[in-house]
Amino acid sequence: MTRLDLEAVRTAYRRQAASYDYMFGLVSRAGRRRAVAAVNTLPGDRVLEVGVGTGLALPYYTAGKRVTGIDLSTEMLARARARVASQGLTQVESLLERNAEATDFPNASFDIAVSMFVASVVPNPRALLAELRRVVRPGGHILFVNHFVAASGPRRAIEHGLAPLSRALGWHPDFAVSDLFGQDDPPGVTFSPVPPAGIFTLVHVRR
Ligand SMILES: C[S@@+](CC[C@H](N)C(=O)[O-])C[C@H]1O[C@@H](n2cnc3c(N)ncnc32)[C@H](O)[C@@H]1O
């Protein structure tokens, strides 16, 4: 898989910021709702949302959570900030321009980290996972919702066919579970397909 670099990510989401909610918001809504519903049931109130984007998920957190959102893209964050202000989302504590692979937060700063449609975008998904393990306290939880390349069949062929467009799309259509976890079955990790279409998967990692 050819990786996107940080500048390619910034460029892609600078271009997409204005249209993102219309182009991608609806198709991914079920995954976002499912992930935040899971976050809301977990113990602990300190939540880190990485790659918060335009903040589409922010209204779904219950008032008992305290959410920090980070993103690389100034333009996506500006939209998230406007959403927080216009909807009065008091559960959002801060929105910061930071790299999810190297956040600068102290160890164990959060009870839960959640990454929605970001693992297939970041330059180094395993560095993202390692960073989330570092900033989530032992016993905490890390959730991903993402598209993963199909194991076989026509969908896999299409996803591999789209892979050369990764830079323009701003994500990797051929992103595989092994790109995040390596080749071995990861211990303490559960995978649940997100209905209705099952294109996205919710991944739960016990820290
Ligand atoms: C597909 S969008 C998902 C946005 C949001 N999570 C959602 O559910 O709509 C990917 C987001 O990840 C951000 N991103 C990509 N790489 C990043 C990184 N290394 N650090 C922080 N944010 C990153 C992009 O700027 C973009 O806003």
pLDDT at 59: 98
- Supply 78's token pair: 């500006």
pLDDT digits (tens, 9 = 90+) for 47-73: 999 999 999 999 999 999 999 999 999
Q: How confident is the model at residue 169, as a pLDDT?
A: 64
pLDDT of residue 132: 97
Q: Which residues of the chain have pLDDT under 70?
A: 1-3, 150, 152-155, 157, 159, 161-171
Which range of residues forms the domain containing residue 172?
6-206
Place of tokens 């079920």: 30
Q: Is residue 1 part of a domain?
A: no
Is residue 116 within 8 A of residue 50, CB to CB? The reply is no
Count of the separate structural domains present in the chain: 1
The ligand 1 atom at the shortest distance from the C-alpha of residue 77 is 27
Q: How far is the CA of 50 from the centre of ligand 1 (A)?
A: 7
CA of residue 28 to ligand 1 center, whole Å: 13
| Ligand 1 neighbourhood includes 146 CB (under 6 angstroms) | no
pLDDT of residue 196: 73
Query: Ligand 1 in contact with 36 (CB < 6 A)?
Result: no
CATH of the domain at 37: 3.40.50.150
